[in-house]
Amino acid sequence: MDRKSSFVGFEDSKYADGTFFDKYTDKLWEPETARVRELFETSGVAIPTQADWEELRKSVMAHG
């Protein structure tokens, strides 16, 4: 995972301090209608959970 580099300005970004992900970890994101929920289910597309977003936040903060 560690690529030994990150994008220019990463250290001062919302990715580096993890705040970019707040909107995904502070509330539950799920389809608002039954039809959209059905489309996700039938297409096999998994909707990331708050735990998934938290794991990604930690990885980005650690590895850029």
Q: Is 10 left (phi over 0), alpha (psi -120 to 50) or beta?
A: alpha
Indicate the domain borders of the chain: 15-63
pLDDT tens-digit map of 15-44: 999 999 999 999 999 999 999 999 999 999
What's the confidence (pLDDT) of residue 12? Answer: 93
Distance, CA of 23 to CA of 10 (rounded, Å): 19
What's the confidence (pLDDT) of residue 8? Answer: 86
Mean pLDDT score of the chain, rounded to an integer? 92
Q: What is the pTM of this model?
A: 0.79
Distance, CA of 45 to CA of 48 (rounded, Å): 9
Q: For residues 63 and 1, is the Cβ–Cβ distance under 8 A?
A: yes
Q: How far is CA 49 from the centre of its chain?
A: 9
